[in-house]
Amino acid sequence: LATGIGLIAAIPAVVFTDPEIAWAGLTEFEAKSRGIDFAVSRFPWGASGRAATLGRSDGLTKLVVDPRSERILGVGIAGVGAGELIAEGVLAIEMGTNATDIGLSIHPHPTLSETIMEAAEGLHGTATSYFQPRRKPKLSEGYQPAGSGSPAGIDQDDTVPDKTMICGKCLI
């Protein structure tokens, strides 16, 4: 996918472990190394009703987005069925979808696919199943959003390596 920030490959990668790990598009490390401003929104599966019913709340869904346009630059998922769930992320990257579009798309409840919607809603602090206190976002390259308010759920840590350890079990 050609964008104003260069080429982003909307090609999924899946590691069929337990839990599965899947990603597409840019990782935080790739965005940082290319000098791209980005924001990250994470949704822990401990807040997912479906993950709880499966007894598999050890997952995480992560979106890497352009903070100005909210365009989806990358998606990372760790958890049961991540290989199937990444398809929505691939489509979002390929179609140039933004986080608001995903958040406004109705997802069936309770399902694991909701974790993608919840991560998108987390960018605005409106995730239904996961409370995120309002805080000032930390973004790469000193970007600060316009206006007086800061969207909740944006997270950027300059110390994050290529893959982030989650749940003590897997990397995304």
Give dist(CA 32, CA 102) in Å, integer.
24
Active-site residue, 124 included: no
Give dist(CA 81, CA 55) in Å, integer.
13
Strand 21-25 relative to strand 39-44, pairing: unpaired
Q: Hey, what are 29's tokens?
A: 């490390």
Q: Which has the closest alpha carbon to 127: 24, 70, 52, 44? A: 44
* Geometric angle at alpha carbon 32, from 16 and 86, rounded to 5°: 30
Buried-exposed string 33-61: b where 16+ CB fall within 10 A, e elsewhere: eeebbbbbbbbbbebbebbeebebbbbbb
The active-site residue out of 11, 34, 35, 109 is 109
Which residues are tagged catalytic?
Answer: 109
